[in-house]
Amino acid sequence: MKNTANPPSLYIFLLILCAFSSCGKKITAPVSEFTPYISAYTGGLVEPNSTIRIELSGEQPDAQTLSGIKEDLFSFKPSMKGKTQWLDKRTIEFVPEPGALKSGKIVEAEFKLGKVMKVDKKLNTFQFSFKVEEKNFDIRLNALQIKDNQSVTVNGE
């Protein structure tokens, strides 16, 4: 009778294959311990002209609506420049410089929650990520051709 059991080397190969297939960058989800402090954040798929927001669970009495924040509350990989501001007493927004969010890239972000409110030391930094929507087309318009007061022709590719 022939042994039909798979050899151990096949199991090892499958294990290595599974490990390598999961090594790519993925969007990370923050731990649930932040739920009492953060009620919403920018995540998932975002547009290249988006802002990054953190909505806190409670109002911050010292927050001044639409005022800039000098402190570095956000850090990103890949790094990007921009400005941080309070939208209201619960929402902090990072506005990247134009072109900072690169199409198709996954951005790993950190928000320094401990600089905004008193939290347990292990919750000082809130880590999250998002992907910038991939744009895979360009539109080029040629000059408008005005034939008369009633019609205009637009050409492009």
pLDDT digits (tens, 9 = 90+) for 48-107: 999 999 999 999 888 888 888 888 999 999 999 999 999 999 999 999 999 999 999 999
Confidence of residue 27 (pLDDT cuts 50, 70, 90): low
Q: Where are the beta strands (DSSP E) in 70-148?
A: 74-77, 82-86, 91-96, 106-112, 125-132, 145-148
Smallest Cα–Cα separation from 119: which of 75, 56, 69? 56
pLDDT recorded at residue 91: 96
Position 35 pLDDT exceeds 50: yes
